[in-house]
Amino acid sequence: MSENVKAQFRQPLVHDARRLLAEYDFSLGEIPTAISLRLYQSLADDRITVEQSHFIQTPIQSEPAFNEHERHPDPETAVERILGEFIRHYEDAEKKGHLPSADWLLPSRDFC
């Protein structure tokens, strides 16, 4: 993005400007539901934020897994952290004898 375009978003009344960098869709293991990730870059500090279509909550989790990092230094780190959470919880549940289920994926209310 050019500096001229970025400068337009630095006006006093403009807040939280960001741009869409990428959107990824994937399925997790034996669960056929498509999961989407949208990566955004802040125009203020270049940090990456991610919107997810779903969160994982397996039978062994007391609550859905939310990535503890709201902002990531780069797209690679963002994807690595979020996919790592999905995979870890999925594998942990399988190791405890649970069969994968679409019920493990909770749709995000904020994802449109």
Does residue 74 belong to any structural domain of this protein? yes
Does residue 53 belong to any structural domain of this protein? yes
Does residue 103 belong to any structural domain of this protein? yes
Q: Are 69 and 44 in contact (CB under 8 A)?
A: no
Residue 65 makes CB contacts below 8 A (sequence gap 6+) with: 55, 56, 57, 85, 86, 89
Q: Please report, for residues 15, 60, 67, 89, 104, the alpha-carbon distance to residue 94 in angstroms, rounded to integers and kept in the order given.
A: 43, 10, 21, 9, 12
pLDDT in tens, 77-111: 999 999 999 999 999 999 999 999 999 999 999 88
Does residue 7 belong to any structural domain of this protein? no
Does residue 11 belong to any structural domain of this protein? no
- How many domains does the structure of the chain reveal? 1
pLDDT in tens, 11-49: 899 999 999 999 999 999 999 999 999 999 999 888 999
Indicate the pTM of the whole model.
Answer: 0.88
Q: Are 90 and 30 in contact (CB under 8 A)?
A: no
Does residue 24 belong to any structural domain of this protein? yes
- Residues of the domain holding 61: 17-107
